[in-house]
Amino acid sequence: MLINADLHTHSCFSAATSKDMVISNIAPKSREKGLNLVGTGDAFHPKWLDIIEESTDYKGDGIYSHKDCDFVLTTEVEAKHKIHHLIILPNIEVARELSHKLVSSNKYIDGRPRSPLSGAELLELVKEYDCMIGPAHAFTPWTGMYKTYDSIYDCYGKKPDFVELGLSADTDMADTVKELSDFVFLTNSDAHSPWPHRLGREFNQIEMKDISYSSLQKALKHKDVKANYGLLPNLGKYHMTACTNCYKIIDPEIAKSNNMKCSCGGRIKKGVDFRISEIADYKNAKHPSFRPPYVHLMPLAEIISMIYDKGITTKTVQRTWQRLIDSFGPEIDVLINTQLEDISKIDDKIALGIEGFRNKTLDVVPGGGGKYGEIHFSERIDEPKPKSEKILTLDNF
């Protein structure tokens, strides 16, 4: 069976995360997105584990269910060198025992615990309990594994179970790195809120015998991910090298020559695009035979928001989003499968926006420095095209 799985989210106990990230909110929104299996996030936080136990029915083999949405225990740990690691766990008993064993100064405060362990030490610890582990958003400049290491084996000492690409990368970028040709790639949302433009914005379509921990474990081991769904990578907020203060996109060589300081006084952060180019072995991607297609998505709420020039969380955008979901089913189907003429019966402009998304007739202002990229549709939606963001060079820095 094909399962749509988003395996990296956070709970209300993580820093900078919505108080609405609780099971009773995550479950229905996940189903509306078209997800079958969702990572709980924050599985080393004792109070979050209590909530999971109280809010779900245990179906066995690591699966906790709430109103037709299945959950598997996951957590993100910030370990040595501030590198983030994604861990998938077999059950609550293991989560509690590992939480007790993990050396961390903040595990009872923050859903994402900090630990002095190295990647290799963390791998050895969780493997004692049959957990799965891999780098979270592997290429991002603040907390990705490759911001510190040039090789994944330098971090873990041996092969981890997967590599999570992150919002600012896709398989075309990652498969320029030779050592990753034997890894299964995961694309997950890293959602901090249940809003429809966050939860499930990236997910994996996985062939599984059933929805269970052991089936997921076998699927990742045998590379049975059949499709990765995710954002256009230049929409990610760390895709390009840019200033973290004014968000100007800056040529990486110029940034380095100025000691990563912007003319505004802000700090420049190396982008995922440039970081991958530094460690790449190939100019163009060389996909292994098992590598599935990468399907670029854009959250439906963002399409609606841009068309009507209203905030994503406004009543207008959310009502329109809900109407489309109620009419045609999960968001994934609305974006990819629903006939445009059917959508136009509800809203002509939305139909044109989705058509532009499907046809890739979009103007993209890339993200960087902590600011998400922006998409603008063509003139046929009666909106003026923005001027493209210029990359700063020696002449205009």
352 in any annotated domain: yes
pLDDT in tens, 82-111: 999 999 999 999 999 999 999 898 988 999
Query: Is residue 264 in a domain?
Result: no
Q: Are residues 217 and 306 in the same domain?
A: no
- Say yes or no: 80 and 227 in one domain: yes
Q: Are residues 62 and 197 in the same domain?
A: yes
Per-residue pLDDT at 395 exceeds 90: no
Q: How does DSSP assign 132-177, residue by residue? A: EEEESSTT-TTT-GGGT-SSHHHHHSS--S-EE--TT--HHHHTTS
Q: Give pLDDT tens digits for 191-209.
A: 999 998 999 999 999 999 9
pLDDT score of 396? 45
> In which band, very low, low, confident or very high, does the pLDDT at 26 lie, cut at 50, 70 and 90?
very high
The pLDDT value recorded for residue 391 is 43
What is the length of the chain?
397
Which pLDDT belongs to residue 130? 98
Q: Into how many domains does the chain fold?
A: 2
Residue 387 lies in a domain: no
* CA 350 to centroid of chain Cα atoms: 25
325 shares a domain with 203: no
Does residue 372 sit within a domain? Answer: no
Q: Both 79 and 151 in a single domain?
A: yes
**50 inside domain:** yes
Q: Which residues contact 187 (CB under 8 A, 6 or more apart)?
A: 164, 165, 202, 203, 204, 228, 229, 230, 294
Is the domain of 74 the same as that of 155? yes
The answer to whether residue 382 scores a pLDDT higher than 90 is: no
Asked whether residue 145 falls in the same domain as residue 15, the answer is yes
For 261-308, the pLDDT digits (tens) are: 999 999 999 999 999 999 999 999 999 999 999 999 999 999 999 999
Last residue of some domain: 214, 234, 254?
234
- In degrees, rounded to 5, the angle at the alpha carbon of residue 238 between the alpha carbons of residues 174 and 220 is 40
User: Is residue 234's pLDDT more than 60?
Assistant: yes
| Residue-averaged pLDDT of the chain | 94
pLDDT band for position 378 (50/70/90)?
low
Considering the domain architecture, whether residues 214 and 141 belong to the same structural domain is answered as yes
Mean pLDDT on 135-150: 97
Name the residue range of residue 57's domain. Answer: 2-234
CATH number of the domain where residue 160 is located: 3.20.20.140
| Same domain assignment for residues 302 and 228 | no
Asked, for residue 213, whether it belongs to a domain, the answer is: yes
User: Is 265 among the domain residues?
Assistant: no
**Same domain for 65 and 163?**
yes
